[in-house]
Amino acid sequence: MVRNTLGATGVATGSAALIGARQSRLPMTVHGGAVHLAAPRTLGGAAAVWAWPIQPGPQGAAWAVAVAAYAARGALLVVRGARPEPV
């Protein structure tokens, strides 16, 4: 749960810097839905990278992707800030 919260927060907040706050939840919602529909039954391997939300807890690659998304979000916010909403 902690890994998925970190990763989802990273994706959503990073999206706020790129596409705006109103639509920032859409990329994670679409990705999460697609992963639950399309992920293979066998866990690990390459699926641990793109299907990180459904991997079991100790999967190292899934943790790396979630932490990288969280760290990238911090870098995006420092460099760009939140995208202003149109008036």
Task: For residues 62 and 79, give the distance between their C-alpha atoms in angstroms, rounded to a whole number.
Answer: 26
Task: For residues 30 and 37, give the distance between their C-alpha atoms in angstroms, rounded to a whole number.
Answer: 11
User: pTM to 2 decimals?
Assistant: 0.81
| pLDDT tens-digit readout, 3-23 | 999 999 999 988 888 888 888
Q: Is 65 helix (H, G, I), strand (E, B) or coil?
A: helix
Contacts of 11 (CB under 8 A, 6+ apart): 27, 28, 31, 69, 73
How far from the centroid of its chain's Cα atoms is residue 37's Cα? 17
| pLDDT tens-digit readout, 25-71 | 999 999 999 999 988 877 778 888 999 999 888 889 999 999 999 99
Q: Is the pLDDT score of 87 beyond 70?
A: no
